Amino acid sequence: MIIIRNSDLTVTINPFGAELHSIRNQKGEELLWQGDPSVWSGRAPILFPVAGSFKDLKYRYNGVTYDMPQHGFARKRDFRLGAHSETSASFILDGQEENYPFAYCLTVTFTLSGPSLRVAYTVENKGANEMYFGIGAHEAYACPEGIEHYHLEFPDDETLTNHLLTGPLRNYETVKMPLDNHRLMLSPQLYESTDTLVFATLKSRSVTMRKNDLSRFVRVDFDGMDNLLLWQKMGAKYFCIEPWTHAPEFIDHDGDITHKPGVRVLKSGEKQEISHMITFG
């Protein structure tokens, strides 16, 4: 495990998947879900080169069909440690995968600044052809009292549009979710019919999960990502705030990765940094 720290936070990262393992504040309180395998063993997997699933866990590129597991392969790979200081650590995954015909380099850098943790993903195309990819965050924040003790705050005055899913794919149905004074109250009932809320037309580029008694909060800023997913297994003691570069694809998608809505494209030799910021209080 690799540790970074400052006077506000102590963060532990597992090189397997470059996954956040623990985030503790100066009081020693654990702020990250600890991966109870009887509920969900994940904590904060990195979703690359796809967030979510391709239809039937397959996609096509240049006429060839490839298999791709849900949320990609990076979360199941050993990253090597790059630069490491007291307050920052980088993890590197590169090569060429059997099920991903692009030579890539993914560098994930965690940097502390006060009560904030910046997570930056740098994706580089090391091959000769254009490279297609997506990336998503999947941090699960600890809610030991249950999510009914929390609410979400959005900076923009808007009505949320939840894109409904059939399995992991969008089915073209939507449900409007009006905010009350910029707030969405959380409750297990939100997840009675689905475990995922998908906001693909969101104006806000940050969201704050605040305890109703105002004693704690976590804010996620995601300027570089266009979609927000909120995931929870009903009744579990965590809440996932997930910025993604693309939304789940539609049920009638043709399977060609170059046609995937929101897919990012890099020319040979190009690189792109995408990041989000997590602030605790």
- Decide if pLDDT at 155 tops 90: yes
Asked if residues 279 and 153 have their Cβ atoms less than 8 Å apart, the reply is no
Largest separation between any pair of C-alpha atoms in the chain: 55
pLDDT score at 162: 94
Asked if residues 264 and 132 have their Cβ atoms less than 8 Å apart, the reply is yes
Rounded distance between C-alpha atoms, residue 89 and residue 119, angstroms: 10
Rounded distance between C-alpha atoms, residue 91 and residue 109, angstroms: 6
Cβ contacts of 47 within 8 Å, gap of 6 or more:
71, 72, 74, 75, 134, 135, 136, 137, 138, 244
Cβ contacts of 248 within 8 Å, gap of 6 or more:
52, 53, 163, 165, 168, 169, 170, 198
Cα–chain center distance at 110: 14
**Token output for 155:** 């900076």
Asked if residues 84 and 97 have their Cβ atoms less than 8 Å apart, the reply is no
Residues 190-200 have a mean pLDDT of: 88
At residue 38, φ and ψ (nearest 5 deg) are -75, -15
Higher-pLDDT residue of 162 and 190 is 162
pTM of the predicted model, to two decimals? 0.94
Confidence of residue 96 (pLDDT cuts 50, 70, 90): confident
**Token output for 62:** 């240049």
- Decide if pLDDT at 234 tops 90: no
Residues 118-123 have a mean pLDDT of: 98
Closest C-alpha to 229, from 118, 25, 71: 71
Task: Indicate the DSSP class of residue 248.
Answer: P
Asked if residues 240 and 105 have their Cβ atoms less than 8 Å apart, the reply is no
Which CATH fold would you assign to the domain 2-280? Beta-galactosidase; Chain A, domain 5 (2.70.98)
Asked if residues 106 and 245 have their Cβ atoms less than 8 Å apart, the reply is no
Asked if residues 210 and 153 have their Cβ atoms less than 8 Å apart, the reply is yes
pLDDT score at 53: 93
At residue 211, φ and ψ (nearest 5 deg) are -70, 140
- Decide if pLDDT at 248 tops 90: yes
- Decide if pLDDT at 202 tops 90: yes
At residue 127, φ and ψ (nearest 5 deg) are -100, -175
Cα–chain center distance at 176: 23
pLDDT score at 188: 85
